[in-house]
Amino acid sequence: MFFACFFEKLFVNSWQKSRFFMYSFETQLRPRYAETDQMGYVYYGNYPAYYEVARNESMRDLGTTYSEMERLGVMLPVRDMHIEYKRAARYDELLTIKMWLVEMPAAKLLHKYEIYNEQDELINKGTTTLVFVDSKTMKPCRCPEWFAERLRPYFEK
Amino acid sequence: MFFACFFEKLFVNSWQKSRFFMYSFETQLRPRYAETDQMGYVYYGNYPAYYEVARNESMRDLGTTYSEMERLGVMLPVRDMHIEYKRAARYDELLTIKMWLVEMPAAKLLHKYEIYNEQDELINKGTTTLVFVDSKTMKPCRCPEWFAERLRPYFEK
Amino acid sequence: MFFACFFEKLFVNSWQKSRFFMYSFETQLRPRYAETDQMGYVYYGNYPAYYEVARNESMRDLGTTYSEMERLGVMLPVRDMHIEYKRAARYDELLTIKMWLVEMPAAKLLHKYEIYNEQDELINKGTTTLVFVDSKTMKPCRCPEWFAERLRPYFEK
Amino acid sequence: MFFACFFEKLFVNSWQKSRFFMYSFETQLRPRYAETDQMGYVYYGNYPAYYEVARNESMRDLGTTYSEMERLGVMLPVRDMHIEYKRAARYDELLTIKMWLVEMPAAKLLHKYEIYNEQDELINKGTTTLVFVDSKTMKPCRCPEWFAERLRPYFEK
């Protein structure tokens, strides 16, 4: 409850206003038939993959790719995920996934997401925390400098 | 942070002790090849389906099935999900999913989950909230009495 | 063997030449991380969903949608599928799915598919047979006239 | 048509009779909610993963695992798959997957499958061809001798 409240108010009121101090990104997709279930809507367990599509496309928007990240020896396993489901999404309707990186990453990436349908109704909102891991040592590491450089402009006043 | 702390301490220390006042259930599965990703572990987005396997099998343990629930006009969409990932699970290793219903349901089901590998290491833990919905009106409804009856013995002193 | 031979020769040599007498369509997608497996490539079981993406988008190209088909009381279950895997596809590379309807449908839809990577190498090719089913009677039915009308121009000389 | 005929007759009549000269295996699973689609049945693209569950469990039945195969440097990518869908499977019903290896493998594994529901009705039948690949050279290789040894008893008169 508290969290929901906080999210709703603070998120909409202050984040949106201060959008020059965060990285935001938007992409679209259509749920596949495979992703519906017999309730007639998108299965709740498919949204983590949708969030990942947004993260993935945002990397391209930043001029790199997650494949590049892996080639350079850094993995990004997910540490934490939270999803609040508001409304069901249907097969083939055009969904808009909005995504925000709300702080300049040090050792982890904190993403926030909101998915909207064509009527601009909120389907769900969520957060994930990804940690930078060195793929040789399999130990946590810091955000690689070359990636930090790409993000820095979005977090400067 | 606060939540994690609370969860860790209170969960392990007091829930486990008071297990006669909750419904607990355990099931096992082996991750399929399809469920791994190129990182070499189970994809983070497959755990919601694993949690659902536990919910599903627990219904059978309670002497009913989720299909029966749907036939009787009640759906159980997921309202909320949280997962804390601690360790990666591998293809084909035997996972144990522990699940708890920590309060007698009124209008929703609050499940808690913990997944362990064969070395009894915690893979992840999570929670979901499901709401009872009347499939004719598509409005929230109360837990059907016939299902409440099956759960009541677990919540009585 | 025989089939492969036939496919290879006849397909490339004569179908491509006679393309005015069939309906052909092309779409693109990028494999998601969720769709790879620990071998490091797209899991073989994900291609049926990719083929379905092509069928789905082709409906839109024809000025309708599969949702519309279902609303009008016709379902299209898959009766038969064959896939010949030639090469592995990787996470996030841009795949082109080519699709052909090689005969004007009567009671079923016979699709052929070829998937290519960015180097224009063949990933796999396949076929599916879908049958028209009346969703009230659950019996096979003929291709609805309104849909046949949309396809007819592609099969006329 | 011809193929279907051949399969039906020869398969049932002669393979079953000569079962001492092949390796056969049987396993069971229940379709998950995630695996259904809005048509109310198991999505056609989920059966390749079910077939893989059978292959996977058969390895354990043979006293090894597919993980062991990979550790010893051999991969088994799928080269070919064919599925004939006869009937839809439903959420949570107990499916029996029957699987046959019909010839002693040299450079590839040819599996045949049949899936039955609780009423012993045929859901679908299929075949896959997997090829042995050396994971160092990524070239095709022969069936490893240690694995051939486990299979040989099933193919001797």
Q: What is the pLDDT of residues D57-115, one digit of tens each?
A: 999 999 999 999 999 999 999 999 999 999 999 999 999 999 999 899 999 999 999 99
Does residue B87 fall inside a structural domain?
yes
Is A118 within 8 Å of chain C by CB? no
Range B76-103 average pLDDT = 97
User: Does the pLDDT value for residue D12 go beyond 80?
Assistant: no
pLDDT, one tens digit per residue, over A122-134 is 999 999 999 999 9
Which two tokens mark A145? 């400098």
Burial (Cβ within 10 Å: 0-12, 13-18, ≥19) of residue A7: middle
A window 6-35, beta carbon within 8 A of D:
33-34
H or E segment to which residue C115 belongs: strand C108-116
**d(C-alpha C96, C-alpha C103), whole Å:** 22
User: Does the pLDDT value for residue B147 go beyond 90?
Assistant: yes
Backbone phi, psi, residue C84, to 5°: -110, 115
**d(C-alpha B142, C-alpha C95), whole Å:** 48
Within 8 A of A65 by CB-CB distance, chain C residues are: 92
Within 8 A of A33 by CB-CB distance, chain C residues are: 49, 52, 56, 66
H or E segment to which residue A58 belongs: helix A47-61
How many residues belong to chain D? Answer: 157
**D44/C81 Cβ within 8 A:** yes
Q: Which residues of B63-95 are buried (b: 16+ CB within 10 A; e: fewer)?
A: eebbbebeeeebbbbbbbbbbbbeebbbbbeeb
Is B78 within 8 Å of chain A by CB? yes
Range B29-44 average pLDDT = 97
- pLDDT of amino acid C157: 67
Q: Of C48, C67, C92, which has the smallest distance from its Cβ to A92's Cβ?
A: C67
Can you give the residue range of the structural domain that contains C93? 22-155
**d(C-alpha D23, C-alpha D54), whole Å:** 13
Within 8 A of A91 by CB-CB distance, chain D residues are: 38
Q: Of C33, C52, C66, which has the smallest distance from its Cβ to A34's Cβ?
A: C52
- From the CA of C7, how many Å to the nearest CA of chain D? 14
How many domains does chain D divide into?
A: 1
Per-residue confidence band for B20, with pLDDT thresholds at 50, 70 and 90? low
* Range in A27-36, B31-40, C57-66, D15-24 with the lowest mean pLDDT: D15-24
Q: Which residue of C has its CA nearest to A66?
A: C92
**Among A92, A117, A128, the residue to mutate for chain C (most C Cβ within 10 A):** A92
Q: What is the CATH number of the domain that holds B53?
A: 3.10.129.10
Range B81-87 average pLDDT = 98
User: Half-sphere exposure of residue A133, counting CA atoms within 13 Å on the CB side?
Assistant: 16
Is C90 within 8 Å of chain D by CB? no
ipTM of model over 0.90: no
Which two tokens mark C10? 């006849």
pLDDT, one tens digit per residue, over A72-83 is 999 999 999 999
Does residue C124 fall inside a structural domain?
yes
**d(C-alpha D28, C-alpha B36), whole Å:** 21
Share of chain A above pLDDT 70, in %: 87
Mean pLDDT of chain C: 90
Share of chain D above pLDDT 90, in %: 85
Per-residue confidence band for C82, with pLDDT thresholds at 50, 70 and 90? very high
- pLDDT of amino acid D157: 66
**d(C-alpha A43, C-alpha A89), whole Å:** 9
Within 8 A of D90 by CB-CB distance, chain B residues are: 67
Closest CA to C39 of B15, D71, D77, B109: D77
**C33/B36 Cβ within 8 A:** no
Q: Of B34, B48, B56, which has the smallest distance from its Cβ to D92's Cβ?
A: B56
Q: Of D33, D37, D91, which has the smallest distance from its Cβ to A33's Cβ?
A: D37
User: Does the pLDDT value for residue D2 go beyond 60?
Assistant: no
Catalytic residues of A, by residue number, are: 37
Does residue B56 fall inside a structural domain?
yes
Which two tokens mark A17? 């206003």
Range B40-58 average pLDDT = 97
**A41/D34 Cβ within 8 A:** no
- From the CA of B20, how many Å to the nearest CA of chain A? 28
pTM above 0.95, yes or no: no
- pLDDT of amino acid C156: 84
Any residues with CB less than 8 A from the CB of B89 and at least 6 apart, and which?
A: B31, B41, B42, B95, B115, B117, B123
Backbone phi, psi, residue B114, to 5°: -140, 135
**A77/B81 Cβ within 8 A:** no
pLDDT, one tens digit per residue, over B53-83 is 999 999 999 999 999 999 999 999 999 999 9
**d(C-alpha D61, C-alpha D121), whole Å:** 25
**C52/D45 Cβ within 8 A:** yes
Does residue A10 fall inside a structural domain?
no
Does residue C97 fall inside a structural domain?
yes
Does residue D1 fall inside a structural domain?
no
Does residue D98 fall inside a structural domain?
yes
Does residue B16 fall inside a structural domain?
no
CB C18 within 8 A of CB C154: no
- With contact defined as 3+ CB pairs under 8 Å, the chains touching B are A, C, D
User: Does the pLDDT value for residue B13 go beyond 50?
Assistant: no
User: Does the pLDDT value for residue C3 go beyond 80?
Assistant: no
Is C84 within 8 Å of chain D by CB? yes
Within 8 A of B49 by CB-CB distance, chain C residues are: none
